[in-house]
Amino acid sequence: MPKTALLIVFVLLSAITKAQKSRLFKFKYLPSHTYGITKKTGMDLKIIMQDLSANADKKTDTTGKPINMVVDTEWKTTVKTDGITAGSFPIAILSGQFSTKTTLNGTEAPSPEIKPLQGLTVKGKIDKDGKMFLDTATATSEIKSVIGTLTSGLPEQLKFPDQHMKVGDTFSQDVNLNAMNLPDFGIDMDYPTKVIYKLTAVKDNLAYFDITSEFKMNIDKEAQGKVINIKGTGTGAGKMEFYMDKGYPKSTINDVEYFLDITGQNTKAAIKWNLTTDAKYIVNSN
């Protein structure tokens, strides 16, 4: 075999070996670092309702004209950490810009009233196991609600496998992507979505993941003294860039579509909604 051909073979084998090299991933906050976070989410909700009772008002039938609500939200947040002391280190979450816009059937509508977030600072610590604890013990329920809104702008704390991963490997976790609160239909809690991450490439210090989402639900619930059946499905796709040395995402985009069919004694409803996420993260050492 000519020397040139041998050289090409060795180069290809080296590239294949590097591609198959396994790596250990872990989501983490580092001491003495600053994290800049910009996150945008969108929700597009459509509802069709039918009252099947004998004397139903036809105005309640929205088959030909679904109720459509769109909510766009944006967070700009800074997270700062200090040096390690006795195995843990302080953390502070500082709220920057927060805005939300709601439209109902194409017309701008009042958004849910939220206590102003801009300028809010929440302190806490990261313990030796990497878990975050915020100082909220003396906070009022109103402030805790505001803090919940603030922290929902932070990235999901990924639970990577304990073993090394190579290109092509996957892991999954259940995430409450869809906050459903429809008490009239007996839906008053979060139902988790299975999110699957597949490592597709590693280049320099970045790992690239494809994201797929799966959601299924078939339950009977009691609402207003009547039993209703709820069937739901959901699928989604997205991508994530992840800093391997810093243990933190660089960017995440995701688009998930949900469908619910609700059947009661005299009621039928079809609900469809899309959830989109576009987040970017900047990580710097102090």
Sorted by where each begins, the domain ranges of the chain are 28-285
Say if residues 217 and 262 touch (Cβ distance below 8 Å): no
Determine what percent of the chain is predicted with pLDDT higher than 70: 80
Q: Is the pLDDT of residue 206 over 90?
A: yes
Tell me the C-alpha to C-alpha distance, in Å, between residue 275 and each of 78, 222, 256: 24, 27, 5
CA distance 215 to 235: 6
Per-residue pLDDT band for 184 (boundaries 50, 70, 90) equals low
Condensed to tens digits (0 to 9), the pLDDT of residues 85-128 reads 988 999 999 988 888 899 999 999 887 666 556 778 889 999 98
- Which residues on adjacent β-strands are paired with residue 48? 270
- 243 Cβ partners below 8 Å, 6+ apart? 205, 206, 249, 250, 283
- More confident of the two residues 190 and 56: 190
Nearest to 135 by CA among 91, 103, 187, 178: 91
Q: What is the pLDDT of residue 115?
A: 59
What's the pTM value of the predicted model, to 2 decimals? 0.83
Tell me the C-alpha to C-alpha distance, in Å, between residue 246 and each of 27, 29, 131: 8, 8, 16
Match 């300028």 to its residue by tokens: 119
Condensed to tens digits (0 to 9), the pLDDT of residues 2-60 reads 556 555 544 444 444 444 578 899 999 999 999 999 999 999 999 888 777 656 555 55
Q: Is the pLDDT of residue 77 over 50?
A: yes
6-24 b/e (C-beta count within 10 Å ≥ 16 → b): eeeeeeeeeeeeeeeeeee
The token pair at 146 is 């505001």
Per-residue pLDDT band for 140 (boundaries 50, 70, 90) equals confident
Phi, psi of 30 (to 5 degrees): -100, 145
The token pair at 132 is 């975050």
Match 């932070």 to its residue by tokens: 154
What's the distance, Cα to Cα, between the start and end of the chain in Å? 55
Select the CATH number that applies to the domain covering 28-285 from these four: 2.60.120, 2.30.230, 1.20.120, 3.40.390. Answer: 2.30.230
